[in-house]
Amino acid sequence: MPPPERRARLRELQIWVEWLRHTAELHNDLPPCWYRHRWVREMLTALYLGWLRIYEGEKTPGRELAEAEWINTVHAFKPHMKLPACVSGHQDPPLPPPANPRADEEWELYLATSADTTDEAKHPAEAEVRRMAAELDPPL
């Protein structure tokens, strides 16, 4: 999305996150610098969109516990939103390692030569299926 729209959406998310931090008592789980961490932003965006669909969308038959499921999802996300390095102030995440200039070449070589991609497909239970078929249809 264009930068002005992105900024507007992030402002909207920030208002909701502050509501969530207060309502769900996440002040010890979600640092104030959450917006500086892309993965935390992604998780919060997912929670926000789910919250919008559940609480403001049309009710879906068979989803009577959707709100409770959403709350369970918040609790499941909590450990992943904690940023111990940021307890006493924001710490930038480590820089990613430099890109491997041969990564594409190595990937293509793997695809062309690996048994994972060149052997005939086999079902994990193929031998058992053959054994069971032989028991059902014994040789005369």
Same domain, 49 and 12: yes
Per-residue model confidence (pLDDT) at position 46 = 95
Count up the domains in the chain and report the number: 2
Q: Is 92 within the bounds of a domain? A: no
Same domain, 68 and 112: no
Same domain, 15 and 76: yes
The whole-number mean pLDDT for each consecutive block of 10 residues of the chain, a chain of 140 residues, reads 91 96 91 91 95 83 85 93 84 85 92 87 78 75
Same domain, 73 and 13: yes
Q: Is 35 within the bounds of a domain? A: yes
Closest C-alpha to 21, from 34, 30, 12, 11:
30
Q: Is 93 within the bounds of a domain? A: no
